[in-house]
Chain A
Amino acid sequence: MQRIRTTKERARRIDLMYFARPHWLRRWRFWLSCAIPLAALGWLCTMHAQGGQRVFSAGPLSRSHAVFTKQCALCHLRQAGYFQNVADKACLSCHDAPVHQASQSFTPTCISCHIEHKGSLQLTATADSVCTQCHADLHSREDSLHVAHSISGFSEDHPEFAGLREGSRDPGGIKLNHYLHMQSLLGPNHTRVRLGCEDCHRSPGRDKGAWSYAGVQLQPASSTRDMAGVRSSHDASYMAPPKFVENCAACHLLDFDKRFAEEQVPHDKPEVVHAFLEKRFAEYIATHPGEVHEAVRFDRQIPERPALVRMARDAREWVGFRVEETEDLLWRKTCKECHTLTAAAGPLPEIAKSKITARWMPRAEFRHDSHRMMTCESCHTKVTSSHETPDVLLPSITTCQECHRAQGPTKEFAEGRCFECHQYHNWRNEQRVNGTYDLRQLRGE
């Protein structure tokens, strides 16, 4: 018997009611289409019940704000309607944000620079673009600008540091030959010394180590904030200006008269030195009245002075002669070795201020301690050959650019974006913020 495959036979194979019995695939699709969205909604409600609005967060908060993760309303102030970003008002309730420059033509909002909900990033690590939106083509409400007009980035067209531009010189009033000081010298107690950078240049926050050659303890100097009035929380950032007592006195003795053996005049203003000398000689002659009428040759160690013999008539005149002789030595030789003295209206000279520059880049921040793995000379290359005081020994921007690039740490370079050195807010004008929240509000309890 052959299989019969007539049209009727074929038509009989079709179950005409098949559509009334949905296939299991369709049934599963339907039930899953109901169950999965419902499960998603259930998850959302559970998360909302457990963690408040945290589930709707656009991303993890930065470390400094992480504690407020459940308190969206602290920053997202309740306002009517939609499209309400975090207003500056919310930031300013906890932070003061002094303006950048009084003459700036544009003030960005807080959130345009400090981007939240991007994880544990530093909020201060802003993109260069937020700076270059103005600094690439800088305009000021004032006519003149004191900074470069166009800067696109540290690696591109950032100008050379101001201290190194043509015609710049060290304004310091202390005569110092770096080259000479780094040679083998006659030091304290007739010993030979070879100074290193750290023997004179130390940051205020550094451990107070003994000076290698004289056992003189380094005293802490003023903090960096005091030094330049610019906020810095890092005491080890800048080198404290060298001080005579700490860094020079061991070799540069201020002895003034053989009658007083190793006693030295104070390292102070001429008026103080003068008063000190008058006092000490008066005390001396009071205890040695027999020396008043002794003839004293005024020769000392100054060759151009004629070798006069002067005899005092009384103790007062004797003190006057001795003070005059000693001051002649001090003003013309001892002090002059380092200081610039100018004649003044009175009998005493004027000493030019030392003006040692603590911060060469007042608009930028630098941390010496972050660079401690390098030798000083590897950046300050001109130190060992500098003979003159006005030589600016600041490293060039090209030295910095060898490691720091705007592309930043991801490209095998050190961070080189603007915020690495520059602060936007002028912290000198920072005001104290009075807190508005109590602990329970912050904790969301």
Chain B
Amino acid sequence: MRIDRTHRGWFIGSVVAIGVATAIYVPYALRTPRPSGGSAIGLIYGSVGFGFMIFAGLLGLRKKFPVWRIGRAQTWMRAHLWLGFLSYPLILLHGAFHFGGPLTQVMMWIFTLVFVSGILGAAIQHFMPRVHTAQLPMETIYEQIDHVREQLAMEAGRLVDSACDALDGELSRASVGQLAAAASAGTDWDVTVADGLGFNEDASRQLRDFFLSETLPYLDKVGARDMALADPLRAKGMFQQLRILLPAALHSTIADLETICEEKRQLDQQRRYHLVLHGWLLVHIPLSYAVLLLGAVHAVMALKY
């Protein structure tokens, strides 16, 4: 989610909330011998902070049931971002900037990881979509990437077969005399019919070779960063070379192959971006559940004693 003007109210509210919490905390800390979470003010900070944490955790439930009419998903997301952000300073104030005993220490370190991963995730989700849009005009649905990649390989195969078949067709229609002349022809630039026939046979073979040795393996392999076609500059050079070697009739096929390879490159890039865009959730979400669980245990035990 982009943090744009629609977040202004949440931002101002959060700043005010932190300001108020600090304004209450400072005189309390100066007046109290050693402020702790067990004092009345400490308990208020702890309760509000834990409440925010629980609310932030409810986002997962809200996403599971998108049809529930309990506010817009965007509003929930904004609330998750800002209340989750607020919960950390409130919990720090609750513990008077001490991590306490074994349980609370573990909890606070996990919470710190959750907080940091959340901030990182928010930053990634703010900046990455722009990069995504600018660099990946051929993006598709992430889950479709493998399916699309297979289709690209098939499409490239069809294109090459079709082009080569056309050349082979011309060759099969040539007379015996023409084929003999072609066989005896030199490498002179004075192109004769015989030369043309020989040229077509060679071009067809070269195109198939290129497809089988370079294009198809690249399209078949996920990622394939080690292959020549994965590098746009090298790919451009290779296709340029192919255009020089092959007759003009094949140039449109070469251009299509180049486009297919470019699309494959973008799909690979999309896969990588997707990992960055969503990989942090592998840390953020499981640890959030852990901290909520430990927080609940801490709340019960701390209130009891």
Contact = CB atoms under 8 A, between A and B. Distances in A.
Interface of A: 1-3, 12-15, 18-19, 21, 23, 25, 28-29, 32-33, 35-37, 39-41, 43-44, 47, 53-60, 72, 76, 82-85, 112-113, 115, 117-118, 126-127, 129-130
B37 interface: yes
Residue in A1, A35, A130 with the greatest tally of chain B CB atoms within 10 Å: A1
Given A1-B162, A25-B282, A55-B103, 11 more contacts: A13-B140, A28-B282, A56-B305, A59-B98, A59-B104, A72-B305, A76-B305, A82-B304, A115-B33, A129-B32, A130-B33
Contacts of A35: 286
Nearest to A83: B303
Interface in B19-60: 30-34, 36-38
Contacts of A40: 106, 110, 290, 293-294
Given A15-B147, A40-B290, A115-B34, A32 B101 contact: no
A13 B144 contact: yes
A2 B252 contact: yes
B contact face: mostly helix, strand, loop, or mixed: helix
28 contacts: A3-B260, A13-B147, A13-B151, A14-B147, A15-B143, A15-B144, A15-B147, A23-B143, A25-B281, A25-B282, A33-B286, A40-B294, A41-B293, A47-B102, A47-B103, A54-B101, A55-B101, A56-B101, A56-B297, A57-B101, A58-B37, A84-B304, A84-B305, A115-B33, A117-B100, A129-B30, A129-B31, A129-B33
Interface of B: 30-34, 36-38, 98, 100-104, 106, 110, 140-144, 147-148, 151, 155, 158-159, 162-163, 166, 252-253, 256, 259-260, 274-275, 278-279, 281-282, 285-287, 289-290, 292-294, 297-298, 301-305
Which 8 A-B pairs have CB atoms at the shortest separation, nearest pair first? A127-B33, A57-B101, A36-B286, A32-B286, A115-B34, A40-B290, A56-B301, A15-B147
B298 A56 contact: yes
Contacts of B252: 1-2
Nearest to B303: A82
Contact of B289 (A37, A47, A54, A72): A37
Given A56-B101, A56-B103, A59-B100, A126 B286 contact: no
Residue in B151, B159, B278, B286 with the greatest tally of chain A CB atoms within 10 Å: B286
